[in-house]
Each structure stands twice: as C-alpha cells, then as structure tokens.
A and B are shown apart, each in its own frame.
Chain A
Amino acid sequence: MSAATEIKTLIIDGKDVSARPDQTILDVARENGINIPTLCHLDGLSDVGACRLCLIEIKGQNRLLPACVARVEEGMEVTTTSERIARHRRTILELLFAERNHICAVCVANGNCELQALAQQLGLTHVRFPYRNPALAVDASHERFTCDHNRCILCTRCVRVCAEIEGAHVWDVEGRGADCKVITDLAQPWGDKNSSCTKCGKCVQVCPTGALYEKGKVGVEHPKRPDFLPYLNLMREAQ
C-alpha cells in the first residue's frame, strides 16, 4: 500500500490537517492538538459513539456528528467548538447528572472523576433538568470490586475492555432507555461463585466515574489508570 496516495486532507477549526483514510475525526483532531471532550471514548478500545460529547459540525451537513466514529473525508471542513456545540455538550452533561444519583461530595471518585472534571471544564455550574433520583442497586458481592449503578453513565468502557482486551466478556448491557444498566454474567451477582470474572480489574481502571471501584479505596487514593491500555495493545501488536 502506498501511504502517500492514501492521505486525505481536511480542515479542522480552520487548520489544514492530513489523515489516513481509516482515521476518525477525533483521532486527527487530537493528533493536531485540538481537544474534543469525550467520555465513552478511550484510547485502546473500539468506539461506540455512546456519550455524544464529541459532537462536531461538518460544513454542508445540518446534523452534528460524533467525532469518535466519524471517518475523515477529503475536503471536509470540521468545526469542533461553536455556541451550538457547546450548548449540546452542556445539555448532554446535565442529562447525565440528572439521570442517576451523582452525589460528587460523597463519591469514591470525587476528585478523580471524568464526569465531574468535564462539568468543570465545560463551565457547568448547575443542572437545569429535574433529577430523576432512581432507586438503584450497589453490587458489592465481588471480593475486590464494587459496582455502584448510581454513578454509572453507561459509557460501556467496562463492557468493551472486558470483551476486547481481557477476552472474558463478563460485562454487558441489559434493558432499554431508563432501564438500561450494565450487568455481569447475564445479570448474576458480580461475585457469584460461578462468575466468569477473572478479577483482572481492567473494568475498574477504565471506568470514568465512581461506578466501578476497588473496595477499601476512596477519593484521593483512588485515581483510575486507564493509560495501561495503549501500552498493552502496543505490546500485543509487537508480538
């Protein structure tokens, strides 16, 4: 394959950039130092476009597109920040906060949470929508980890890391709409004696919020370390 002929050129935020045809707009933007906020995307995992925070505008298209799954095209003109985009991103964050019980002050991930940090980064100081306050379970049956559905934003990073990287596919998603939730082993307790969980803890490390955490660790002592993923992939490719 001749790489030189396969290069696509496009414009992101007024900047001329070049990309391989298989790259997403998010990839190319970040390569060029343009930051697009994300929650469900994680380097090293497949992309699902679940959180919609990476919405961007493409000239000539009325709809906003998620940058994490939108492929580059020759001559594209992409805008990553505008009043319209900012409004959508803030609204998405507000809906995430309103959907479940995100009580930052008493959350194990306080200070190490991507949702909390993004709210601050995007200037969100309050939520305009009424909080739903659903009654949700906490699964503490696992010997090492806890799953708190109150803090889950359904990014499905846990589902993907378990299936794609660990190869165990313990996690999955059940239900639709407001009833949607992550489950382990066809909705059995995570710590069930017949569980297919390998106890590797990858899901905990990639979880952006306090939904999955290590028992006995809170707040400042609980930074997540999702950066192992690109290294792991790199080492596997090298073999």
Chain B
Amino acid sequence: MSNSDLKTKLKLATVWLDGCSGCHMSFLDLDERILEIAEYVDLVYSPIVDAKIYPGEVDLALVEGAVASVDDELKIKKVRAHTKFLIAMGDCAVTANVPSMRNPIGPQAILKRAYLENASLQQQIPTIVVPKLLKVVRPIHEFVKVDLYLPGCPPSADTFYKTLKALIAGETPDISAMTRFGA
C-alpha cells in the first residue's frame, strides 16, 4: 500500500452510545469482506481500535445506540461536528428501540431496580463517574442531523457490506431493499 492510497482513503469511525454492541458484532460479521472494505477506508475511531479521542475530520461515521445519558448527548454532538456523513446504525440509533422501553416509567425506576433491588452488596445509586441518565431515551436524529438510516436489530453483515460499498462508490444505497425495523 502506497502513501497516496492512504491519503485517498475515507476516514471511517464507529461510535457506541446506548446499545448492546450487537450492531458492532454484526459489522464484524463482514468477516473477510472487512479486508475489501479496508482497501477503501481507514478506521480512525471505534470501540474496536485504540483511538481515545474523536478525530477532527471524519468522512463516514456509523453510530450505534440511542441517546440515553448526558454523555451520549455530548458524544453525538461532537461526532456530528466532526463528521461529513453520519449513519444511524441499527434500531437503537434509529428508533431508540429497547433502551426506550424505560421511557414510560422513567430513569429513577431503572436505577432503583439495577442498583438497589438487584444489588446484593453496596446498594447505592451512583452519583459520580456514571453519566446522568436523560429523562427519556431518544433516537439520534432528535439531537443531530442524520444522513442515512440503517434500521435493523442488528442490520445484517450483508446490509453493512452493500451499504458501505455503495457509499464508497458514491451511490445511494436502497436501504428498504436490505433491512427493516426489527430485522
């Protein structure tokens, strides 16, 4: 691989908000096709690489998970500010999905259940380090502009492959032909 190749490669980031990481797992199910995708993109930020700080200029970002905490909200705004093309990856990012099931009962009920009722030791609701939960969990497009929606729980590896190949080629992928809510 020459230096000129590196310069022309798209900078790809993947981000993990309130989701189960299943979308990232499904992305990894690309298996050997990841090598083919890697010819066109450089993975600059992701839970599966070592970078800790979101880079200044990212071409393509896949965002998994809903916005459920103040930390998620800060992250998605930062990602949007430094990303040319933002993709909502999976049902949590697109619809708020399973994380939103707490919306009718509120965050206090969830915290009580997790940290008091179900804890056998040190029953206490954390007030430091753990980010404060938002009142309601919402999809990312209620906070920032989203350029492409990829529903599915999770979207299949084929969906990732076809979508990325289309975007790399400068085409618009036909999402509904590949995936749906709950797929």
Residues in A lying within 8 Å of B, measured CB to CB:
97, 101-107, 110-111, 116-117, 119-128, 130-131, 133-136
Contacts and interface: CB of A to CB of B under 8 A. Distances in A.
Interface of B: 88, 91, 94-98, 100-101, 103-105, 136, 138-139, 141-142, 146, 149-151, 153, 175-176, 180-182
Given A105-B91, A105-B182, A125 B149 contact: yes
Contacts, number: 76
A158 B122 CA distance: 50
Contacts of A131: 95-96, 100, 103, 138-139
B105 A104 contact: no
B176 A103 contact: no
Contacts of A116: 180-182
B142 A125 contact: no
Contacts of A117: 180
Given A111-B182, A126-B151, 15 more contacts: A102-B181, A104-B91, A104-B153, A105-B97, A106-B101, A116-B182, A120-B176, A120-B181, A123-B176, A124-B176, A126-B94, A126-B146, A128-B141, A131-B103, A135-B104
Nearest to A111: B182
A101 B180 CA distance: 17
Contacts of B146: 126
A103 B180 contact: no
Contact of B182 (A101, A107, A121, A125): A107
A125 B176 contact: yes
Contacts of A104: 91, 153, 180-182
